Amino acid sequence: MMIPLVETSRIAIPKLGLGTWRMTGAEGQAAVESALALGYRHVDTAARYENEDAVGAALAASGLPRDQIFLTSKVWWDSLAPDALRRSLEESLARLATPYLDLFLVHWPAPGMDLPGIVAALHAARDAGLIRRWGVSNFNPGLMRQLEQLGAEPACLQVEYHALLSQRTLLDWCRPRGIALTAYSPLARGKVAEHAVLGEIGARHGAAPLQVALAWLLRQEGVVAIPKAARRQSQQANLDAVRLAAKLTPEDVAAIDGLPKDQRQVQPDFAPDWNG
């Protein structure tokens, strides 16, 4: 099936992608190959995942032209000095065996980071043809405002977002500016499967609670989701959620909107103040 695009003034990106965290080695390669065979055309990885070589091997094995795949990678927060950022990018490209990335993200902000220097390094990489677009991950509202004050125009913001965690403030910031919001951990690490409301909605549509939660995200303007799925069955179930998104009724959506929205799953000790 054809996965629809999120298309803004800054980016065009498949609305559903494959997250690859903790998918390494031969098993990781097989998982990416499976997803591409099913019709996925958006793969998300990162230097920190230590699987770029496996992802690159899967892309090569797929036989798909490079321009048919949207590929994202990220630089870790300890490599944000301009020279280190460039080295990290070049090493990612080498492991992925690709001349460019469709999207390159700052994975996490770092205290005291040189934001103007980071933006300049990202623009230099874009001008050199190493990346098509750049963005950030795990930035809070204050950091997004700082980027705008610098005149920077990130194409994407990647954050944890799911039916149990609101990102209303960041969505309201991103949408009018043409910034796509990519939801990582879009199934709340499986927690959404435990909610009776999602189960009831799923029963009406012949779908699993996880599919309902994913469909709720996929129907939203400007939102991309990248669920991790190693098994072919799970990859297909996530694909099927694309169709389900159009079938959710206003009552379904209102019920999901009413679920608790304060259950963050990803909170490392180096995370920023999410309300900052």
Can 49 be counted among the known catalytic residues? yes
Per-residue 3-state assignment (H helix, E strand, C coil) for 202-258: HHHHCCCHHHHHHHHHHCCCCEEECCECCCHHHHHHHHHHHHHHCCCCHHHHHHHHC
* Axis-axis angle for helices 25-38, 52-62 (nearest 10): 40
Neighbours of 206 (CB within 10 A): 10
Residue 165: closest CA among 269, 266, 20: 266
Q: Are 45 and 52 in contact (CB under 8 A)?
A: yes
Contacts of 213 (CB under 8 A, 6+ apart): 162, 163, 186, 187, 188, 192, 198, 256
Q: What are phi and psi of 71, to 5 degrees?
A: -115, 125
Catalytic, out of 40, 49, 161, 184 = 49
Catalogue the active-site residues. Answer: 49
